[in-house]
Amino acid sequence: MIVRNLKPGCNPNCRTCSHREFTKEQSLAQKQYFITKTLIKWDDVFYPIISVEEHKRWNYRTSVTLASMWDGENWIFGTKSFDEVIPIPLCPVHHPLVNKTVEILSSKLPPYEEFPLAFIVISKAQCTLIVKRKEASVDWLTHSLINDLKHNGIDTLWIHCNPSAGRRLFEKGGWINLFGEPYSFDSNGFVYGPTSFQQQLQELYFASLNKAEDFLMPDVNTVVVDLYCGTGTSLRRWRQKNVPSIGVETSGEAIECAAINARGANLLRGSCRLRIPQLTQWVIQQLFLSKQILLYTNPPRTGMEPEVLEWIVKVARPQRIAYLSCSPGTLSKNLQFLTNYRYRVKGIQPYDFFPQTHHVECLALLERQ
């Protein structure tokens, strides 16, 4: 395959950004066509896809997971295709913080025999080296390297010892803090950790939260159930309006961050389907107080579990739902289920959260009839 018109630093063998040769208009048109085709049953309530200005469509990724390979002299970091690591040291989609951190570490880490590095995970100011070993030496860590990383914007450096790295990136144990605090603060004052997921284009993400909030209309007469709540960015919205809220999230780190980011919210750790009994108890208490139930949900690519969908339509029965989806395919299936139970789709707003890629996110707004 011949790849042309690439940005400087873009490796033509990297397959991560499938829209990298498209103009902004071509990329958005293809995404709009894809979601309209996938969600054609509701094409009458579609809004045009929202993106950012051209210069913001590059160098925006501050959180990445890169595979590593020792070439005999230096470490190579990039995407993985089968057993080959495709180097992307100057990726034009990555933020300069990411590219510079990769450059610093490539020549400063020990060779593979001493330090079997599998992946490097950068989450903004938090950097984690995942090593395929039960323990790892830190003799190589010098004050010079620490200063270089800090000067580049890395607040915290971790080693995560995980002999099974590849099947799963992270395990519960094996964490070594080399320097810095366990958590960092982003530019908006939200706490996050080394494994936290955060949307890359905060401008678009906050725009989607604004639209969700405008539709849900949380006030003193309502409560919000926030499923797959992550580190609590959406939960803070409801708490700032003094609206009673409950969030559910599987990650222990994310729950700890949510407790700080959305103080006063009720939090449940675990999968949403396994927390249905606690959610039911909380919802019943709110209904007893004559509160109206609202739902905000941001599930993973697989969508909401069947048990959760059943609970929504038969127990919680929220008056309004704001559903942020990263998969139009699973969103279509979930919307079909919800509309079979007296819910009407009032609008679908697509967002270009990941420019240069084929990914597109949609905010679906539903109301119970």
Per this entry, what is the length of the chain? 369
From residue 82, give the alpha-carbon distance in Å to each of 16, 85, 161, 310. Answer: 14, 8, 23, 39
Contact status, residue 126 vs residue 194, Cβ threshold 8 Å: yes
Determine whether 102 is exposed, middle or buried from the number of CB atoms within 10 Å of its CB (0-12, 13-18, 19+). buried
The token pair at 211 is 């639209």
Active site residue 362: no
What is the rounded CA–CA span in Å between residue 28 and residue 52?
11
Q: Are 318 and 286 in contact (CB under 8 A)?
A: no
Of 30, 5, 3, which is closest to residue 14 (Cα–Cα)? 3
DSSP letter, residue 165: T
Out of 10, 14, 257, 326, which one is annotated catalytic? 326
Contacts of 364 (CB under 8 A, 6+ apart): 321, 322, 323, 325, 331, 335, 345, 347, 348
**Residue 82, token pair as written in the block:** 């089968």
CA 29/CA 24 separation, integer angstroms: 9
Q: How many CA atoms lie within 13 A of 184 on its CB side?
A: 22
Residues taking part in catalysis: 326
